[in-house]
Amino acid sequence: MNPLLVLVIIAIYFAFLMIISYFASRNRNDETYFTGDRQSPWFLVAFGMVGAGLSGVTFVSLPGMVGNNSFFFYQFILGNIVGYLFITFVLIPLYYRLQLVSIYSYLQERFGNKTYKTGSLFFLVSQSFGAALRLLLAAKILQFALFDKFNIPFFVTVVIILFMVWLYTNKSGIKTIVWTDTLQTTFLILGAVITIYSILTSLNLTLGESIQKVIGLEYFTVFNWDSSSGNNFFKQFVAGILVSIAMIGLDQNMMQKTLTCKNQWDAQKNTLTYSFILAITQFLFMGLGVLLYIYAENQGIALPMDENGSLLDTDTLFPNLALNHLGTFAGLFFVLGITAASFSSVDSSLTALTTSFTYDFLDRSHKSSKEKKKLKNWVLLGFSFIIFLIIMIFSNSRGDIISLIFKVAGYTYGPLLGLYLFGMFSTIRIRDKWVPIICLLAPVCTYILSWYFKNTFHFDFGFINIAVNALLTMLGLILIKKT
């Protein structure tokens, strides 16, 4: 695809983001960046959150993942829907009742200051890694599609993306993102739909014929009942419930958007709507993945495999076909989709990281408006640098990023999940000062147990490691209860 055309597309898209930022930043105050003035329409938040939930990982990694894992990931998505019900009817009423800006303030009220800081710190680590890994995938594709053509190094590409995000979010933060996420979601979904249309046209298939073809292939296997497999239904379903609670309900990034709704009922409608749109969209992307493999086989496009017959670099399948084989129209919308994914994957994450660190670790109560603005900008710059470093560390990683993200999440979100479940469903008081140690030991013990079971019993925890991690955290909290 012509690199100048790619450059023009990105420039036009960025101009739209800046226009949205201009209008969103009018009539702002010191809290607008963090709360969005709590005036966001719930349906707008719901649709926009889909883009943040999908990001470049779903856009690229999920279709490619089908090659080695069939539709097994949909078991995880079904669990997500149950988890969203917990978020809607348990967590959101709690957050609105306490009028929280940083959701980790709950831990301070329930347990104490050490627990509060520990929970927030685990979020900061989790979100930094998640945002960096999501942006890494999108940045690699933009590097291939555009920046390589101008001999621009990868690290410069990442800096450019982070700087562009800063330009349109630094003034109004979450208020801007609620609106820009809507634009980003639209182009993410359009990218998938246009690609499907291009494949069907190329293969002379109707929509009905393509559905029959997809359903008839081994790729469409949804349920796995092998108890030793990491893709086992019960492991995936339970993990889906817990991961959605942890990565959405206990995530400042996603909840910060929800808490910009006018009231609790609007926030609940937002979460329920978001959960179903997201599930349908993820199914669409997995179906797209099957069509991409059908197209590659039909066109005789060789896909790299290892000695065991597993596909390598599955994350390159979609970009390779869209940019090199499916024509200019599909390539155009792919670039728009991945550009939307690049910004969507990092803008709300940086805002949430800035909010959490500012409210949880810095005292802003006695500062002037000018000092608050300066403090916020320095924190935003600091987390941009952290995300840049993580991207550089993982820049040579191979395989599907989506599996890596959920694997990391199992270790980083597990203690956070354990703290909240213990706090909400027990009345036990604990020795607050020991919580940081418990929360550090739990993921270490989870890793050791996972390694032991896999090597001794050939039993793969898979994504269920988050449940083991949360359980170990809760057991540790019982050990430090006050007598």
Handedness of CA 414, 420, 421, 427 (dihedral sign): positive
Query: Residues 6 or more apart from 464 whose CB is under 8 A from it?
Result: 235, 238, 239, 410
Would you state the pLDDT for residue 30? 47
pLDDT in tens, 202-234: 888 888 888 888 887 787 888 888 877 778 888
> How does pLDDT run across 14-57, given as a tens digit for each residue?
787 777 777 766 555 445 454 445 556 666 666 666 666 666 66
What's the burial of 182, exposed, middle or buried (CB within 10 Å: 0-12/13-18/19+)? Answer: buried
Give the three-class secondary structure for 213: helix
pLDDT at 108 over 60: yes
pLDDT tens digit sequence for 309-354: 677 777 778 888 888 888 888 888 888 877 776 676 677 777 778 8
Q: Phi and psi (nearest 5°) for 40?
A: -80, 135
pLDDT in tens, 269-319: 888 888 888 888 888 888 888 888 888 888 888 777 777 767 777 777 888
Residue 65's closest CA among 438, 280, 317, 409?
317
Query: In whole angstroms, what separates CA 63 from the centre of its chain?
Result: 16
CA distance linking residue 332 with residue 476, whole number of Å: 52
CA distances from 152 to 144, 148, 155, 161 (A): 10, 6, 8, 13
Cα dihedral sign, 169-173-176-181: positive
- The β-bridge partners of 311 are 305
First to last CA, the chain: 68
Does the pLDDT of residue 70 top 70, yes or no? Answer: yes
Contact 81, 279 (CB under 8 A): yes
CB 178 within 8 A of CB 44: yes
- Token pair 């960025």: residue: 14
Selection from 125, 83, 84 nearest residue 104 by Cα: 125
Phi, psi for 70 (deg, rounded to 5): 50, -140
pTM of the model: 0.74
Contacts of 432 by beta carbon, 8 Å cutoff, 6+ apart: 111, 112, 113, 114, 115
Q: Could you give the C-alpha distances from 123 to 29, 131, 172, in angstroms and in order?
A: 26, 12, 22
Token duo for residue 155: 């690290």
Q: What is the pLDDT of residue 457?
A: 83
**125-134, 165-174, 453-462: lowest mean pLDDT where?**
165-174
Query: By the 8 A CB rule, do 242 and 463 touch?
Result: no
Greater model confidence, 114 or 175: 114
- Amino acid 424 reads M
Sign of the alpha-carbon torsion through 156, 160, 165, 166: positive
Q: Which residue has the tokens 């329920």?
A: 272
The dihedral over CA atoms of 173, 40, 50, 239, expressed in degrees to the nearest 10, equals: 90
The yes-or-no verdict on residue 256 having pLDDT over 60 is: yes
- Collapsed DSSP state (helix, strand, coil) of residue 143: helix
pLDDT band at 436 (very low <50, low <70, confident <90, very high): very high
Q: How far apart are CA 72 and CA 259, in angstroms?
A: 33
pLDDT tens, residue by residue, 397-433:
665 566 677 777 788 888 999 999 999 899 999 999 9
Q: Residue 8: exposed, middle, or buried by beta-carbon count in 10 A (0-12, 13-18, 19+)?
A: exposed
CA 373 from centroid of its chain's CA atoms: 27
Q: Which residues pair with 40 in a beta bridge?
A: 261
Q: What distance in Å separates the CA atoms of residue 464 and residue 452, rounded to the nearest whole number?
A: 15
**Mean pLDDT of the region 363-378:** 72
